[in-house]
Each structure stands twice: as C-alpha cells, then as structure tokens.
Amino acid sequence: MATGRKIKKEVMDVLANENWESDFEGLMEKYTMQNLVAPLFASLCASTVIVRWHGVTCFGKVISRMAQEDAAKARIVMRRIMWMLNEESGGCAWGVPETMGEIAAVNSLMAKEYGKILLSYSHEDEEGPENYLEFPILLRGAVWGVARMAQTRPEIAAQATNDMIRFLSYADPVIQGTACWALGGLKASESVKTLEDLTDNDTVIDIYRDSLLQSVTVGRLAQDALERILGH
C-alpha cells in the first residue's frame, strides 16, 4: 500500500510534467479520490507557479468525481476550503479561492451549493456578513474563481456582475484583467463602455486560462471580453 508521502511525491512529479493532465488521470485510476486530496492541498503551496495552477485544475477533477461518488465527502473538503479562507484558520490560503472556483466550474452540485459563497469573497457589503478578502493576493484568487465559474456557470456568477465591473477600475492590473475575463464569460453588456476604455491598456499580466499560464495585456483581455459580449 502506498504511503501518503509516496502519493504526494507522485502527484507533485506529475503536476510538473508536460503531460500532466493525462498522467493525473492515471493517478485518479490508481488511487481513491480521498488519497489525492492531501497531496493536492500541498500542491497549492508548491514553489513553482505552474505546479500550483495545475494543482488547482486537478483539484477540480478530484472533487468533481468525489461529489459523484460520495457527495458528503466532497462537502467535507469544501468546508475545509472555506475554513482555510477564515482568518481564524491562521493558514496560508494561496490557491484556495481559485480551487473553489475551479470545483464550481466543473461540478454542478458543488456550484449550486457553494457558488454563492465563492461570490461573497469578492463582494464588499457594509450591511451584511463580511467575507470580502482584502489581502490583494487572496482577492486576486477570489476574482479568478468567479471568472472561472463564469465560463461554465454564468447563471450563478452573474450575481457578481457589478463587482466585476467595479474591479475594472481597481488599481491591481491582475484583478482588472481577470475581471475582463469574467465579464466576457458573463456576456455582460453593461460593462461594454468600461471595457472599451481598457482596450489600450498595455500592462502585461499572467493569467491562467484553458489550463495554460498566459502572458497577455489587460487591453487584450478587455478586447477578448468585448468580442464575446458583442458576438464578434
């Protein structure tokens, strides 16, 4: 029987490989989904950025299958993810809101049950419960999570439309560009004017889309969003 340390090494090695997606599918056939959860949490703290992003994608695959096999176990993992975003947890939460967004994007049950909670992490509400993630790195992750969910669950992510429009004017270009991606997925016609104002923004950011880490300008992301919204 493989030990947790051995499985973790296998997972980390696979996430760094060129053929990581197909190789990880092999691990999903070799081990139970429960066996893969701890190594994937560890991958979110990897020193290599692309390994962390691959971990986010694979987390979505694992929890989606777990939800199909035993929804109760999937909910336990989702509650752990939510706990990690709680200040009281005292842990490092890099990649956690991204993981939540990926899971919601690929699994309809998890999206239905936890999608609105994900939206709350990028929503400032002076009158209601406050889940807003003020720390910039975590806020980037929360916006990315919404953007990722917007690609496949726009009916849920649409509730964050006004927040995403507000982020088009945010000081952080990564958040600006990610909000563009979100609004394109939402086909938010009310964002057209603000997106048009960004098309000349030549600030280059790294954004993870379609399982690829891409370097692209904020202006290009705004243009991409406009093309999706206007049907060009």
Give the position of tokens 């098309």: 199
Report the alpha-carbon angle 107-109-114, nearest 5.
95
Where are the domains positioned within the chain? 4-120
Residues 6+ apart with CB under 8 A from 178: 140, 143, 144, 147, 167, 207, 221
Instruction: Give the Cβ contact number of residue 199 at 10 Å.
Output: 16
Can you give the pLDDT at residue 232?
Answer: 73
Query: Quick one: residue 89, left, alpha or beta (phi over 0 = left, psi -120 to 50 = alpha)?
Result: alpha
Please give the chain's pLDDT, 232 residues, in tens: 578 999 999 999 999 999 999 999 999 999 999 999 999 999 999 999 999 999 999 999 999 999 999 999 999 999 999 999 886 545 567 899 999 999 999 999 999 999 999 999 999 987 656 899 988 999 999 999 999 999 999 999 999 999 999 999 999 999 999 999 999 999 999 999 999 999 999 999 999 999 999 999 999 999 999 999 999 7
Can you give the pLDDT at residue 94?
Answer: 83
* Listed residue (49, 42, 57, 53) closest to 12, CA to CA: 42
Question: How far, in Å, CA of 13 to CA of 19, rounded?
Answer: 11
